[in-house]
Chains A and B, each alone.
Chain A
Amino acid sequence: DTGVSQDPRHKITKRGQNVTFRCDPISEHNRLYWYRQTLGQGPEFLTYFQNEAQLEKSRLLSDRFSAERPKGSFSTLEIQRTEQGDSAMYLCASSRTAAGELFFGEGSRLTVL
């Protein structure tokens, strides 16, 4: 059990650029979640996958955001045409089952200049 791994840990980009984050969940965890955490706030749910199927998306996830989990293993979260308001910590979590404990990664911090 190597834990949930996220890459990169920190990304600095200019407004308007595209960025992509990767999450490797704990192996055999079929559920994968993305949350966003801004300064001074708790994490906010963005979306989640069961295997390769994206089952729900929050209204926080605008059209510039897209998440995939093509083979039911790792997941990517892409943000197109980044805005300064996208600056946040993007957290990934996985669980073995629907009612299972969420294991969080250390997060990917995005800074948009």
Chain B
Amino acid sequence: AQSVTQPDIHITVSEGASLELRCNYSYGATPYLFWYVQSPGQGLQLLLKYFSGDTLVQGIKGFEAEFKRSQSSFNLRKPSVHWSDAAEYFCAVGPQNSGGSNYKLTFGKGTLLTVNP
């Protein structure tokens, strides 16, 4: 069964500092990979996704993530964090079914990001 591990439950960074959120997955093949962000009282918003091709993917809000097959990792990065980035971040994997259906996502437990001024 597929699974996602986000080792860090809570991370605190200073505004302007760089950020890396870790994500490791377990899956029999190459899955579809996603990062979502959830702000208090808000729904999940897709930051970026990896289906195939270039292993470094760019997303919204200045985020990027790198797929490393050898490490089964898909870490999220941002060079300079803004106070508005404070939120909970979820990594997710989806099966590469025929037709590219990504409906049955398996999420990690999330990493809560706090940004200090």
Q: Which of A13-21, A41-49, A63-71 is the interface stretch? A: A41-49
- 8 A Cβ contacts from B95-117 to A: 99-110
Number of A residues, CB within 8 Å of B: 25
Chain B residues whose CB sits within 8 angstroms of the CB of A42 once the complex forms: 4, 90, 92, 107-110
Chain B interface bracket (under 10, 10 to 19, 20 to 34, 35 or more): 20 to 34
In the complex, the answer to whether A99 meets B109 with C-beta atoms within 8 Å is: no
* B28 on interface, CB distance cutoff 8 Å: no
Contacts of A99 in B (CB 8 A): 51, 99-102
Q: Which residue of A lies closest to B46 (CB)?
A: A101
Q: Bound complex: CA of A99 vs CA of B105, how far in Å?
A: 12
- Cβ-defined partner of B106 (8 Å) among A45, A48, A93, A101: A45
Contacts known (A43-B90, A43-B107, A101-B46); A106 close to B102, Cβ less than 8 A: no
Offer 15 A-B interface pairs, CB within 8 angstroms, sorted by A.
A42-B109, A43-B107, A44-B107, A45-B105, A45-B106, A56-B104, A93-B44, A98-B102, A98-B103, A99-B99, A101-B49, A104-B45, A105-B43, A106-B42, A107-B43
Q: Which residues of B contact A (CB under 8 A)?
A: 4, 36, 41-46, 49, 51, 90, 92, 99-110
8 further contact pairs, Cβ within 8 A, besides A56-B103, A91-B43, A102-B102: A42-B108, A42-B109, A45-B103, A56-B104, A98-B100, A99-B51, A102-B105, A104-B36
